[in-house]
Chains A and B, each alone.
Chain A
Amino acid sequence: MQAFLITFASVVVGGGLAGATVIGLVNSQTAPPDKSPANVSNPVLEYGVTQ
């Protein structure tokens, strides 16, 4: 049991580091421009979008 728990704990820490790296990479490659161009035909802002 102890060996399993140590393995799991290592996976948590390693997984976190890997996850942070992947997210950082994806964000840096897919981030929108700092200022999106205004939508002249419909300038009313959306409250949000669903999936």
Chain B
Amino acid sequence: MPAWAIAVAALVLGPALGPGYLLTYDMVWVPDLALRPDFLGLGSALPRAVPSDAVVAVLDEVLPGMLLQKVVLVGALVVGGLGAARLAGRATAARLVAVGVYVWSPYVVERLWIGHWPLLLCWAVLPWLVAEGIRLRADPRIGAALPFLLLAGSLSANAGLMAATALLAVGATRATVPRLLGLVVAANAPWVVAGLLHLDTATSNAAGAVFGLDAEGPLPAPLAALTLGGIWNAEVVPSSRELLVLPLVLTLSYAALAAIGARPLARRLGGRVTIALVGLWAAGYLVAVLSWASPDTVGWLAGHVPGGGLLRDGTRSLALCAPLTAALVAAGVQRCVEWCAHRAAKLLVMAAGALLPLAFMPDAAWGIGGRLEPADYPAAWAAARATLGDGRADLLVLPFTSYRAPAWNHDGKVLDPLPRYLRPDYVVNDQLVVDGRVIAGEDPRVPDVLAALALPDADDRAAALAQLGIGAVVRDRTVPTTRASDAAVGGTAVFDGGGLDVVVLDAPVHERQVPAGWLVALGLAWAAFLGLAGFGVWNGGRAISSRMRTRPGPG
């Protein structure tokens, strides 16, 4: 089974596994991400990349960023596939089908294309969390892998909520609830505490309702969601999803196989676990459909309730539907195999079941038809990084816009990688443009930076930016720009080459002060997160030594 999971993962990723960095939309990996205070949750913006950026910054001290990215992407797809196979039972046909359905899904392809790798890690650990929950119902001892599964599945807010929900829904009993709650709180503490500290900016623009579940071509949104598709951004939807016949037949096939497999699956898993899986599926599907059926409600929640923005990209929640979908389809194919009398027919049905998802979304193969192509950073970036060093105060990258499509990245869209490539904390424009409309971000410094850039004199701009805590400005001259998002800034030029120039501001910088209470609160949150990792190591070591003691000796 691992060979099939690896083969499917390799076929999905294709050229993305080659040398270079896969930079696509929100997926930004750099050679050596420097750990900086903002990655811990101390920045002025709502901490969207806590704790994922900090975890990567630490891990890439062990593995280079390029290799770490490959390990994360391949690991997520293989682990997810194997987890689905485990949930599908012992029959080979069911396990093969579960791998295909789980990995070769619109959810994986679309989230991979848009670069939401922490979400993919959560998706990958969900079947394992379900399996661990099932085990916990019989044996309430914390398994060796559970702390690491939770940590890997909780690298962003949405991911952490889904991982916690899955584990508690399946594994919570009177005996396990206190310990599971402790583990879940520790795994999610960094983003929860950082979010609470930014409560005044924790509401999002109500126009963010555009991020809800959407139709895929002629396929209506609720049907698209049944096969785990329907992402808001039509740019990252594979072409095959926009032909009515392929996704429609796939949906009908999944529905028929799920109906056939429902009873045997429920018998094997038992009533309590089945109810939990159905509950997870319903929760994931309803959140997604709500974002389509009532975008104004979701927009209002995002705009008025702190944390309500977690609901606005509604299809993220479809990860909760994935374990049951894969298990049901796998059980359905297994039942069909059992109905066949001849070996050749059994093999044909098994092969068709395993290839079903691939056949109806063939363009997902080979990195979505070659679109997931890695790139190398320009040499000038390394020179600018060395010159700037840790800098003083924060960094501003101009043009002050969020996304780029550099020629060296094969003209592929990506969140500007330059701030992460360099070492200092940074302020970036978190406004997003969707369908030609600007959706405001949450960082209170962004309007102030735009106002500073609008001043008529370069020295005045420098003074105003310094008052905002900015000590240096890097300009990428290869990026198309406007006067509103770019302007000369007075200061000392310290680097100029390869399309980049770096100016250190001469004006006295008003450095951001972090309240002591923030440091204490985030210190405790990170201590809990690291404590969970430490507990995982200790617990794993204890489990290994216990197994070695109980292994019968040679005599």
Interface residues of A (CB under 8 A from B): 1-2, 5-6, 8-10, 12-13, 15-17, 19-20, 22-23, 26-27, 34-36, 38-40, 42-51
Q: Give A2 to B336 CA distance when docked, in angstroms.
A: 8
A9–B233 contact, CB under 8 A? Answer: no
- The proximity string for B residues 403-416 relative to A, scoring 1 for CB distances below 8 Å and 0 otherwise, is 11101000101000
Instruction: Select the residue from A6, A20, A39, A47 with max chain B CB neighbours within 10 A.
Output: A47
B434–A47 contact, CB under 8 A? Answer: yes
Given A5-B336, A8-B352, A9-B351, is A50 in contact with B362 using a C-beta cutoff of 8 Å? no
Q: Give A27 to B216 CA distance when docked, in angstroms.
A: 16
| Contact partner, A51, options B215, B246, B401, B405, Cβ 8 Å | B215
* Cβ contacts under 8 Å, A42 to chain B: 482
| Contact partner, B235, options A9, A22, A40, A48, Cβ 8 Å | A48
| Contact partner, A5, options B340, B355, B358, B485, Cβ 8 Å | B340
Which A-B residue pairs are the 9 nearest by beta carbons? A16-B359, A43-B480, A48-B233, A9-B352, A20-B362, A45-B403, A12-B352, A47-B432, A46-B433
**Of B57-65, B76-84, B342-350, which binds chain A?**
B342-350
* Cβ contacts under 8 Å, A44 to chain B: 401, 433, 482, 485
* Cβ contacts under 8 Å, A23 to chain B: 239-240, 243, 362-363
Q: Give A51 to B341 CA distance when docked, in angstroms.
A: 47
B246–A9 contact, CB under 8 A? Answer: no
**A45: min CB distance to chain B, Å:** 4
Interface residues of B (CB under 8 A from A): 25, 114, 210, 214-217, 232-236, 239-240, 243, 245-246, 249, 253, 336, 339-342, 345, 348-349, 351-353, 355-356, 358-360, 362-363, 369, 401-405, 407, 411, 413, 432-436, 479-482, 485
* Cβ contacts under 8 Å, A43 to chain B: 479-482
5 A-B residue pairs with Cβ-Cβ distance under 8 Å, sorted by A, are A15-B249, A43-B479, A47-B403, A49-B233, A49-B235
Q: Give A20 to B366 CA distance when docked, in angstroms.
A: 13
**A28: min CB distance to chain B, Å:** 11
A47–B215 contact, CB under 8 A? Answer: no
B358–A16 contact, CB under 8 A? Answer: yes
* Cβ contacts under 8 Å, B214 to chain A: 50-51
Q: Give A32 to B336 CA distance when docked, in angstroms.
A: 43
* B369 nearest in chain A by CB position: A27
Given A27-B239, A43-B480, A47-B403, is A12 in contact with B356 using a C-beta cutoff of 8 Å? yes
Instruction: Select the residue from A15, A22, A49, A51 with max chain B CB neighbours within 10 A.
Output: A51
* Cβ contacts under 8 Å, B246 to chain A: 15, 19
| Contact partner, B435, options A8, A40, A46, Cβ 8 Å | A46
Q: Give A48 to B411 CA distance when docked, in angstroms.
A: 15
**B233: min CB distance to chain A, Å:** 3
Given A48-B235, A50-B214, is A2 in contact with B434 using a C-beta cutoff of 8 Å? no
Given A19-B362, A51-B215, is A12 in contact with B234 using a C-beta cutoff of 8 Å? no
User: Besides the contacts A15-B246, A48-B235, what 9 more A-B pairs have beta carbons closer than 8 Å?
Assistant: A1-B339, A5-B336, A8-B352, A9-B349, A12-B359, A13-B351, A15-B249, A15-B360, A38-B480
Given A16-B359, A19-B240, A19-B246, is A45 in contact with B405 using a C-beta cutoff of 8 Å? yes
Q: Give A46 to B405 CA distance when docked, in angstroms.
A: 10
Q: Give A38 to B358 CA distance when docked, in angstroms.
A: 36
Q: Give A15 to B249 CA distance when docked, in angstroms.
A: 10
Q: Give A51 to B245 CA distance when docked, in angstroms.
A: 18
Given A9-B352, A27-B239, A50-B214, is A45 in contact with B363 using a C-beta cutoff of 8 Å? no
B352–A13 contact, CB under 8 A? Answer: yes
* Cβ contacts under 8 Å, A8 to chain B: 352
Q: Give A46 to B437 CA distance when docked, in angstroms.
A: 9
| Contact partner, B210, options A16, A39, A50, Cβ 8 Å | A50
Given A16-B358, A50-B210, is A6 in contact with B345 using a C-beta cutoff of 8 Å? yes
A48–B234 contact, CB under 8 A? Answer: yes
B355–A12 contact, CB under 8 A? Answer: yes
**B111: min CB distance to chain A, Å:** 13
* Cβ contacts under 8 Å, A1 to chain B: 339-340
Q: Give A3 to B53 CA distance when docked, in angstroms.
A: 54
**B375: min CB distance to chain A, Å:** 15
Q: Give A49 to B482 CA distance when docked, in angstroms.
A: 21
B349–A6 contact, CB under 8 A? Answer: yes
